[in-house]
A = this chain, B = another copy of it.
Amino acid sequence: MEDRRALIMSGVRTALGPSSSEHDPGRHPAVRCQAVARNAKSGCSITPLSDFQACHRRSRLIMRLIRERETVSTNASNKKRRVTQADVARRAGVSTAVVSATLNPNSATGVRVSQDTAKRVRAVMRELGYTPNPIAQSLARGKRNILGVFTYESVFPSERGNFFYPMLRGIEMQVSGAGYDLLLFTSAQTAEAPRQIFAGGSNRLGVADGAILLGQEPDSSELERLADEGFPFVTVGRRHSGRVELNWAAAGYAEATSEIVSHGHELGHRRIAYVGGATIREQQQDREAGFRSAMHRLGLDQGPDCCWHIDPETLDAACLESILSRRVTLILAETLKHAERLEDLLRDKGMYVPQDMSIAVLGTPLEDTKSILRWTRFEAPREEMGREAVRLLLAQLDGRLNGPAQTTLPCKFIPGDTLRPVTDGH
């Protein structure tokens, strides 16, 4: 015992012992034919095989005969060939239809199997170690019971903290029990480049009944092509295409931003600025639209140039000056990075958050769990978005849904400490 352990301990890489398992990679007729030929030569010929290599026509019959012999004579010692339904049927003295019906008693087929027969069939299945081939089932049924999850970036990107994690968790929660497995398309990876759905012409997504797409696509035309194919899919996050209607489960960034503006208004803020990144996708559009519509509703319109589009790294003192020159008292920062950058710049001028300036963040990062805590902000319902995406996809697959399905889920407001009331005049 001690020795055995020591052996395992010492070797960093050990491959020991004789082969005990053998995988059957599904050989093809000709391959099998050769195996049979060898077999036949080694003594168990059941028909003249002198010119076996040439008798292409006859080989199939011979194969069948030999296969039947094999099934009877060598029980489980010859593990080369996969045990099929036909083997079970033969041995149980029934047709494959009965075996299939035993396996799927609830199927709508007319076949009813008697208790006794079913028992016998099940016994043979155990005896032969039969397991149905799910791939063949999928092909025959036209249904795979697989839901795809596609991400353009890595599914498990960083060391800790994964943007997709909450969504994946929601997806798993909702899909679990619905009888679907989850396929992550890792094969679509092309070296360093972002993944593509239609890499090399063939769409791997097709292994799944439908798919959920996470993360931002570099090229929105892929979504349109996917929709054109009639492949059912749902994106997590709103996506827009001028050409096709897309399905999504999104966060209500517009409403949430609107709400923060209202909140600021109640606290006395009248001059409010929006500072977002240079990249503008659906998400950013929604935030800004929510901002503008709330400003309009509250009669706080300040013309078109109350919104700044600039990445945090580029945000400089000049930029801050232009904001301050408008006598702004509340800044809505798209990201924590924007907020922190603004705070740094303000500090350089001797101004502090929230005493001299209120700032709210329009989201909650997943990575920086500590720094975000003090900020007034909202949080997207990431887990619920994953769940809802699954719901929409399953509804589509069930035929419960005809048109495009688009769900907007409310974000959660988190008061934080960086949005303070202002007295008139400030």
- Enumerate chain A interface residues (CB-CB to B < 8 A): 2, 5-6, 8-9, 11-28, 79, 103, 122, 125, 129, 131-136, 138-139, 141-146, 154-156, 159-160, 162, 165, 168-169, 172-173, 175-187, 189, 191, 201-204, 206-207, 209-210, 227-232, 238, 244-245, 252, 254-255, 258, 285-286, 289-290, 292-293, 296, 369, 396-397, 401-410
Contact = CB atoms under 8 A, between A and B. Distances in A.
A176 B21 CA distance: 26
A283 to B, nearest CB: 13
A19 to B, nearest CB: 4
A203 to B, nearest CB: 5
A207 B175 CA distance: 18
A201 to B, nearest CB: 7
Contact of A191 (B177, B231, B296): B177
Contact of A204 (B79, B134, B184, B407): B134
A131 B176 contact: no
Nearest to A125: B201
Contact of A409 (B12, B18, B191, B244): B12
Nearest to A180: B187
Contact of A154 (B176, B252, B290): B176
B186 A129 contact: no
Contact of A25 (B125, B142, B177, B403): B142
Nearest to A254: B9
B172 A132 contact: no
B183 A187 contact: no
B156 A13 contact: no
A320 to B, nearest CB: 29
A23 B232 contact: yes
A134 B202 contact: yes
A238 to B, nearest CB: 8
19 contacts: A2-B293, A5-B286, A8-B254, A9-B286, A12-B252, A14-B408, A16-B403, A17-B403, A19-B402, A20-B227, A20-B404, A21-B244, A26-B141, A26-B142, A28-B142, A135-B138, A135-B206, A181-B184, A182-B184
A16 B210 CA distance: 20
B187 A169 contact: no
B5 A254 contact: yes
Nearest to A141: B26
B143 A26 contact: yes
A2 B176 contact: no
Contacts of A6: 293
A259 to B, nearest CB: 11
Contact of A5 (B172, B201, B289, B404): B289
Nearest to A228: B129
A133 B138 CA distance: 11
Given A2-B289, A15-B403, 12 more contacts: A5-B285, A5-B289, A8-B406, A22-B230, A23-B397, A25-B397, A26-B141, A79-B230, A131-B203, A172-B186, A177-B191, A181-B187
A355 B172 CA distance: 47
B245 A20 contact: yes
A186 B191 contact: no
A392 to B, nearest CB: 9
A397 B25 CA distance: 8
A141 B285 CA distance: 47
Contacts of A13: 407-408
A117 to B, nearest CB: 16
